[in-house]
Amino acid sequence: MLTGKHLIAGNWVAGDATFKSEPAHGDVHEFAVGTPAHVDTAVKAAEEAFWSFGYSSRAERAALLNAIADEIEARGAEITAIGTSETGLPEARLEGERGRTTGQLRLFASHIEKGDYLDRRHDEALPDRAPLPRPDLRMMQRPIGPVAVFGASNFPLAFSTAGGDTAAALAAGCPVVVKGHSAHPGTGEIVAQAVDAALNKLGMHPGIFSLIQGGKRDVGQSLVQHPLIKAVGFTGSLAGGRALFDLCAQRPEPIPFFGELGSVNPMFLLPEAVKARGEAIAKGWAGSLTMGAGQFCTNPGISVIIDSPEADAFVEAATAALSPVGAQTMLTDGIAQAYRAGRDRVAGVTGIQELLTSTCDLRNATPYLFATTGKEWLDNEILGEEVFGPLGLIVRVSDFDEMMKVARSLHGQLTCTLHLDAGDTAHGRALMPVLERKAGRVLANGFPTGVEVADSMVHGGPYPASTNFGATSVGTLSIRRFLRPVCYQNMPADLLPDDFN
Ligand code: NAP
């Protein structure tokens, strides 16, 4: 049952003002507007909770993560009902995302139980070393303190209230204060109820988790500026992420801001692969581009191809595959408007060719397809900006040298993809050092949508794909964002953290 309230350190708190949800279909609900005062209460409780939670055993935290997963599953039908209503995403998609969310929580439980993430090191004392003896040195990763989490509209479960950032922070031993997303406040609340139930069941400190609904931008701003917050996990737009990142950097005590932002995820189509299976690549691209109305940060918006008759066939096949795709509901009215504005921005570039025009209005999206030359791409930086939605751009380069120039001109990306056959190996090898510098994940012969939650996954990349290229927000490595190394010199065993034993 929805209450419309914030969860602040175990208490369900109403506000003086409310805002209304804007569901794609179904009932409108009212939610309390968050304030800086709510933020202050939640963060102070998180800091208090850190003194026990930050020193809890890995087994205790694993039990919490598993219990949250169980409680989310127990509310599965309720979450799907409110989630589909608020976001317009289909049931099957939300059910899949719920599985990913609970799987992620359980993966972190087993990951911390293994203990490798602590990266324990020991340099034994060398008392007889000349000219100076070496002290006994031990190192271990320790949790950093209260963490703020901002989810994105397009993953109301897996990148939201109890999504990857929250799971990683809790696994590390960091209490979490979530700023609820205004596009899915009800979904956020039900998930918060699940976390609250898990904490109650295990008798853990209620300050470990709070959810403050938004409604006004000052909630998020005061959260990242709160002196007791030690890091921020953010998934969302470049504009929003940059604004909050700058606030973090301007604090008297600057803190790390782990922003996962937008990307155009270019694909490089090499000649032999295009010859052998250009049509199949075009069909696969159309599927990946339009999946979920193109509302994925890994959506492959750009295909770079060398001019040839096979390139003409690829263009034709892509247009044919995209033409029958009907209108899909977008996550919010604002995102639908931004999609159309993005389309106008691309269409306004001199010399651009419009291959597929379609009409969409209200909260709907239909695909758009454009083509340009390598030269126009290199002259128009605007073409490299993300259009969030099912918009594709084919960049026809004159030769492989120009393809290399396009690759070198890219800003940071979450992913870059190569489509290649055995005869393309030399070109592939030439591109690899460039793509590796540009992206967090480089794929061969696939499509970047669908991010595996695993030990080797990197979901990040150089700016503007993320604000911190050393980090990932998906997979077990993401726990490193909420840890810092501490060295213990000549420390008696009784004073060392239990994890050394
Ligand atoms: P968004 O508009 O940036 O919102 C994300 C969160 O930040 C919301 O809670 C929002 O508050 C808050 N926010 C935004 N601007 C703010 C500001 N100036 N001050 C304070 N708070 C602010 O992003 P979105 O529309 O939810 O998500 C779509 C974007 O996310 C796309 O660009 C997509 O590519 C990207 N994305 C990236 C990844 C990744 O892993 N890299 C994954 C998924 C999505 P409100 O609730 O008030 O709007």
Q: Is-contact 293 365, C-beta < 8 A?
A: yes
Query: What's the average model confidence in pLDDT over 379-398?
Result: 97
Question: How far is it, in rounded angstroms, from Cα 468 to Cα 231?
Answer: 12
From atom 31 of ligand 1, which residue's Cα is the shortest distance away?
237
Q: Of the candidates 242, 238, 198, which has an alpha carbon nearest to the alpha carbon of residue 224?
A: 242
**Position 361 confidence tier, pLDDT thresholds 50, 70, 90:** confident
The percent helix, strand, coil of the chain (3-state, each to 5) is 45, 20, 35
Answer whether 421's CB lies under 8 Å from 270's CB. yes
CB 155, CB 87: distance < 8 Å: no
The tens digit of pLDDT for each residue in 142-174 reads 999 999 999 999 999 999 999 999 999 999 999
CA of 234 to the centre of ligand 1 (A): 8
Extract the tokens encoding 200. Answer: 């109650």
- Which pair of structure tokens corresponds to residue 197? 């139930």
3-class SS of residue 394? strand
Nearest CA to ligand 1 atom 4: 236
What's the Cα-to-Cα distance from 282 to each of 303, 386, 399, 461, rounded to whole Å? 9, 20, 20, 26
Ligand 1 centroid – CA 136 distance (Å): 46
For residue 59, what pLDDT is reported? 98
Name the residue with the closest Cα to ligand 1, atom 28. 236
For 6-19+29-122+144-261+466-500, CATH number out of 3.40.50.880, 3.30.70.20, 3.40.50.300, 3.40.605.10 equals 3.40.605.10
Architecture of the CATH domain 267-444: 3-Layer(aba) Sandwich (3.40)
| pLDDT tens by residue, 391-432 | 999 999 999 999 999 999 999 999 999 999 999 999 999 999
Residue nearest to atom 14 of ligand 1 (CA): 240
User: For a pLDDT cut of 70, what percent of the chain falls above it?
Assistant: 100
Question: Distance, CA 389 to ligand 1 centroid (Å)?
Answer: 14
Residue with tokens 């492959």: 300
User: Which of 153, 160, 166 gets mutated to test ligand 1 (max ligand atoms within 8 A of its CB)?
Assistant: 153
Percent of the chain with pLDDT over 90: 97
What's the pLDDT tens digit per position in 190-208? 999 999 999 999 999 999 9
CA of 236 to the centre of ligand 1 (A): 3
Whole-angstrom distance, CA of residue 171 vs CA of residue 64: 9
- pLDDT over 90 at 244, yes or no: yes
Residue numbers annotated as active site: 260, 297
For 246-273, what is each residue's pLDDT tens digit? 999 999 999 999 999 989 999 999 999 9
3-state secondary structure 306-374: ECCHHHHHHHHHHHHHHCCCCCEECCCHHHHHHHHHHHHHHHCCCCCEEEECCCCCCCEECCEEEEEEH
Mutation test of ligand 1: which of 160, 218, 224, 297 has the most ligand atoms closer than 8 Å to its C-beta?
Answer: 297
- pTM, whole model, 2 decimals? 0.96
Per-position DSSP letters for 81-124, written without gaps between them: HHHHHHH---HHHHHHHHHHHHHHHHHHHHHHHH-GGG--EEE-
Which residues lie across from 358 on neighbouring strands?
Answer: none
| pLDDT (average), residues 41-65 | 98
Alpha helices in 115-184 (DSSP H): 164-172
The predicted structure's pLDDT at residue 469: 86
Residue whose CA is at the smallest distance from ligand 1 atom 39: 260
Residue type, 328: Q
Q: From edge to edge, which strands make up the β-sheet containing 257-260?
A: 11-13, 6-8, 209-212, 176-179, 147-150, 231-235, 257-260
User: Please, which residues have CB within 8 angstroms of residue 402's CB and are 6 or more apart in sequence?
Assistant: 374, 375
pLDDT digits (tens, 9 = 90+) for 56-75: 999 999 999 999 999 999 99
Q: Where are the domains of the chain?
A: 6-19+29-122+144-261+466-500, 267-444
Q: Return phi, psi of residue 290, to 5°.
A: -105, -5
**Residue ranges lining ligand 1, Cβ < 6 Å:** 150, 152-155, 159, 179, 181-182, 214, 217, 220-221, 235-237, 240, 243-244, 260-262, 297, 335, 386, 388, 414, 459, 473
DSSP bridge partners of 474: none
Distance 346 CA to ligand 1 centre (A): 22
Q: Which residue has the tokens 């034994």?
A: 124
Look at residue 357 and tell me whether its pLDDT is greater than 90.
Answer: no
